[in-house]
Amino acid sequence: MTVNRRQLGAWLSLGALPPALAAGRGAAPGARPVRLDLGHATAPINRFFTHCVGADYPGVTGRAANLAQLQLAADELGFRHLRFHDIFHDELGTVRQRDGRLVFDWQAIDRLYDAMLAIGMRPYIELGFTPGVMRSSNQTIFHWKGNTSHPQPGPWVELVEAFARHLIARYGAAQVRQWPFEVWNEPNLDGFWERADQQAYFDLYARTARTLKQVDPGLQVGGPATAGAAWVPEFLAHAQRVGAPVDFVSTHAYGVTEGFLDEYGQSDRKLSPDPQSIIGDVARVRREIDASAFAGLPLHFTEWSTSYNPRDKVHDSYISGPWILSKLRGVRGLAQSMSYWTYSDLFEEPGPPDAALHGGFGLISRDGVRKPSWFAYKYLNALRGQEIPSADTRLLATVDGQRLALLAWDLQHAEQPSSNSVFFGQPVPSGPAAELQLQLHGLRPGRYRLQLHRTGYQRNDAQTAYLKMGAPRTLSPAQLAELQALTQDRPELDRAVHIGNTGTWRWRVPMRSNDMVLLTLAPAKATPSAAG
């Protein structure tokens, strides 16, 4: 392999050796040619990845700091719905009992929903958990004590009906019909649904779904919202048998090798090296739906990420970025939404965040530092307009007018002899990867502005810098400023290019293992300063 001066400079700027000079570190990867023809872009890109994202319960999500980060997520990442647990938590004061009758006060819910709508996000309503006045036991879950006993049937139906009628009266039927209603959360786990009683959940679902449809047949209702993509055939068979309405199927999956629930972040797992993790679960559930009486129903994975542990350092790793992209590309056309759990580390299921970067679920830290997973979604959100077909399974490209956006990544599962807390608790350097050799056809001749953004090892990589700081529990102002400066996603290349009369353009992009790169090419309005 011949390496010219420009290519050598590009590799050294990434803190890596080019493949031809890195033979001592492993086999040199081959080239990765990519040929794209803009003339073949005839269908809009499927933006299912922006449909929904997760959050903590209302007592946390409604705080000013959380809403500020939610605004940032809506603006930069394009999310359109927000899902969280326990909309009926007693902290909101929604449900009380007076003289033997239920009394409802919707003010706290209204304030939260009003704030979300002002941000540009709609609710994805998870119906649960159990208000204190209708609990059947004192079973609770999480630091904020959500009651997960079976609600008393009569009062529950009264609450659901009153809630739906209030939402329609306040926001209008046309608006609320765009808010999915998901019945409960992970009822196949005892912690979320007492005794994980399947029949009791099916009964709850049928009562709830019928009640919502009686209020307005246009409301969307679905379930079973299970952990581990479970119960779907049984749920659909029961709904058919009793005539319960189902508008969508929802369930969950995580990328570690075993388990379903880690309430306080005390377990330790490994990221699954199986290329079909998550993808296989989505494909299986799609087959189960299409083999049922409800073939073709929308499928929503309303929770997913690398790990269900709220204190798992893999969440902060740069490796999570290309992992997310590979899974989302692999489930296109199978799932209608994949709701990442969650958008923020301002999240208190296991208690308040106990360190600046603590392996929290979020795409952004408690201090507002963007993680590599944030940039995975930011780069996805840059893909607009018509998709340019490609056989490369680690690439997505679009053209919107004359603006081209190309997102490419290199997912390589590192050899992981230890659990996530150990392996991702120290810097994990990148290795070599095949150079991206682009050949684009069908461009309109003229001057363009080329920008290249990269996230990977020590690029938009707060975790590595944080570990090198000694992983302080609390960041000093100077340390926070350093991490913020490192995660501004400044382009590593910003220059003018000229497309000739042939409409063909070639470019090479050096890659490292687990890099993500976003390349944009837009008609130049003015000559930009050359860089890179």
Reply yes or no on whether the pLDDT at 257 is more than 90: no
Q: What is the pTM of this model?
A: 0.92
pLDDT at 532: 30
Listed in sequence order, the DSSP H helices in 96-179 are 107-119, 153-171, 173-176
b/e map 314-336, b = 16+ CB within 10 Å? bbbbbbbbbbbbbbbbbbeebbb
pLDDT digits over 373-410, tens only? 999 999 999 999 999 999 999 999 999 999 999 999 99
CB 176 within 8 A of CB 167: yes
Indicate which residues carry an active-site annotation: 186, 303
- Other C-beta atoms closer than 10 Å to the C-beta of 120 total 13
pLDDT digits over 434-486, tens only? 999 999 999 999 999 999 999 999 999 999 999 999 999 999 999 999 999 99
pLDDT at 109: 98
